[in-house]
Amino acid sequence: MPSYAAPLNHINFVLDEVLGYSQHCQANGSTMLDTTTKGAILEGIASFAEEQLYPLNASGDTQGCSWNDGAVQTPKGYQQAYQQFMTDGWPGLSAPVAQGGQGLPESLGVVITEILGSANPAWYMYTGLTKGATLALEAHGSTELKEHYLPRMYSGQWSGTMCLTEPHCGSDLGLLKTRASLRPDGRYAISGTKIFISAGEHDLTSNIVHLVLARADAAPSGTQGLTLFLVPKWLTDEQGQLRERNAVHCSSIEHKMGMNGSSTCVMNFDGAQGYLVGELNQGLRCMFTMMNHARLTTAMQGLCMGEMAYQTAAAYAKDRLQMRSLKGPQFPELPADPILVHPDVRRMLLTMKALNLGNRALAYYTALQMDVAESSPDPSKQKAASEQLAILTPICKAFITETGIEVTSLGVQVLGGHGYIKEWGQEQLMRDCRIASIYEGTTGIQALDLLGRKVLASQGSLLSGLKQMLQTQIAETQQIPTLATHANRQARLVEAWQTIAQTIALRARDNADEIGAASVDYLMLSGYILHGHFWLKMMRSALAEPTDAPLQQSILHTGEFFFQRLLLRADMHLATLQADATTLMSPLTEHF
């Protein structure tokens, strides 16, 4: 039966050997986070995840959440695990010290997200959403709101939500209808219906703090008329005691493909009391401050479930005896060979592993840029990191989740029929992972953001830092004989990547649809090129250790696999991008 072990060796390899984490922390204001402290924290969170959360993952899926007269019951054991999580002080790890947090860098929070989200992605949603809400509040809330709400959210006592989607608007927030009317006391009365609200109602915390996007009286239509409000489930007194139930209620929960332990709520606001967050009609801007973080957290789900799927599939492939190697019995003493001897099983496992490891390096690197953008003492470094984040965030969100779905599906395939039944957990991972490329902005939305709003709108200038990083890596790796071929390959791809962006820009001058037509292929191409970068980097780090330790050897083998067999996908996306929008746009409505 499957079990989860936090892959601390891989995590530390990326942090320490590949990304120089302890120097990074020194340079960005987290001087106390040395390798020993980080190690202790990760061991602690790993134990909690393995022992408290993972055992609830399958049972939470089976039981799901239940709704009764506005209350939502989470699966058995969720409450206890949440209490333990609070008692251990995990929620406020990367929160500001001023509001009771421990002030560790955001990047460490992302690493912790991997571990918690691998062990139990549905349970993790309750704490993950709170993080998003606190970020928006931190950046835009009044001092009064912050002092009242943030410490209680950082402690885990109260949780948070983001209320954006409505029945008729998901990607298109401009259509949003929820109203906010100014009351004589300066507060607002919020009315409307929100759907797909994760953790909108549950039984883990005494209060729930909704951040709600709504349209104030006489606000302009479209996205320019949106304002952010804080709407608590319970109105509280100055000491934070619950005083009065606010007029916000959960009218039902969704029945979904997966993530059954996470409540997905329809929330009705019936003149609920709300507080302005930020300025009127600046709601979208306020949301965007937390977008990078929320998107990276969501991206992690592709890695989380991909990692868990790989662990189970690799263990199964070593254990399951079925057929002989075509070369003849490899384990003649056994009734059949373990299926790991079969090349196609290895192809699947190595695909999973290569994508997971590339995704981890990409996500962690992106997380480090969040630290730099926020805390570097050097403003030019802050600016450079922000520019990289603008490009990396949509790539992480879409690429890691899309490949995560592929990895979890391969995880089912490796186990054959046993992958399809609930017993082994592989089918749950595929179901749980399938939402990741949808919520927090679909792959299509991320791709438009990347190509339209970032690359083309900046005329490529937002790419310059990343391009330099890629080229430096290539030049250095070309000096290493065993890696030079891969570096040359990567050099050709990076050049083609730049050329194709110019081609698309030219096409888009005449026809704006060219952006949408190219966007997803451009994003996936970018993702594979970034994987190429981090694979070169990881292989160099592995070569730098004069050891034949399994970890280093495994990095080198998997990297070879990546360059010989996976990076070809980049060429396919490049070739697809040669075609313009014509074949997409020619069919009339009746041809579909």
Candidates 145-153, 165-173, 228-236, 382-390 — which segment interacts with a copy of itself by CB under 8 A?
165-173
Residue at token pair 């990078």: 292
Q: What are the φ and ψ backbone dihedral angles of 105, each rounded to 5 degrees?
A: -70, 155
Closest CA to 114 of 354, 350, 410, 362: 362
Q: Which is nearer to a copy of itself, 8 or 27 (CB)?
A: 8
Per CB under 8 A, contacts with a copy of itself among 86-145 are none
> Applying CB under 8 A, what is the total number of residues that bind a copy of itself?
98
226-232 vs 264-277, strand pairing mode? antiparallel
Cβ 541 to a copy of itself, closest distance in Å? 16
Secondary structure class of 66 (helix, strand, coil): strand
Does 545 bind a copy of itself (CB under 8 A)? Our answer is no
Does 586 bind a copy of itself (CB under 8 A)? Our answer is yes
In whole angstroms, how large is the CA radius of gyration of the chain? Answer: 24
CA dihedral 545, 550, 556, 560 (to 10 degrees): 170
CA dihedral 7, 12, 14, 19 (to 10 degrees): 160
Q: Which is nearer to a copy of itself, 307 or 427 (CB)?
A: 427
Per CB under 8 A, contacts with a copy of itself among 328-357 are 335-336, 340, 342-347, 349-350, 353
Per CB under 8 A, contacts with a copy of itself among 246-265 are 254-257, 264
Joined together, the tokens standing for residue 33 give 């986070």
Q: Which is nearer to a copy of itself, 392 or 430 (CB)?
A: 430
In this chain, which of 2, 419, 527, 532 binds a copy of itself, going by CB under 8 A? 419
Does 509 bind a copy of itself (CB under 8 A)? Our answer is no
Q: Which is nearer to a copy of itself, 370 or 501 (CB)?
A: 501
Candidates 150-158, 288-296, 390-398, 433-441 — which segment interacts with a copy of itself by CB under 8 A?
433-441
Distance CA 368, CA 21 (A): 8
Does 448 bind a copy of itself (CB under 8 A)? Our answer is yes
Q: Which is nearer to a copy of itself, 187 or 342 (CB)?
A: 342
Residue at token pair 């490949």: 403
Candidates 107-115, 133-141, 204-212, 314-322 — which segment interacts with a copy of itself by CB under 8 A?
314-322
Distance CA 137, CA 142 (A): 8
Does 325 bind a copy of itself (CB under 8 A)? Our answer is yes
In this chain, which of 86, 438, 480, 505 binds a copy of itself, going by CB under 8 A? 438
- The answer to whether the CB of 230 falls within 8 A of the CB of 137 is yes
Distance CA 165, CA 492 (A): 42
**440 in catalytic set:** yes
Cβ 238 to a copy of itself, closest distance in Å? 38
In this chain, which of 31, 80, 171, 459 binds a copy of itself, going by CB under 8 A? 171
Residue at token pair 């990567």: 490
Catalytic one of 144, 440, 545, 590? 440
- The answer to whether the CB of 478 falls within 8 A of the CB of 556 is no
- 548 to each of 551, 555, 582, how far by Cα in Å? 8, 11, 53
In this chain, which of 208, 430, 524, 525 binds a copy of itself, going by CB under 8 A? 430
Residues labelled catalytic? 440
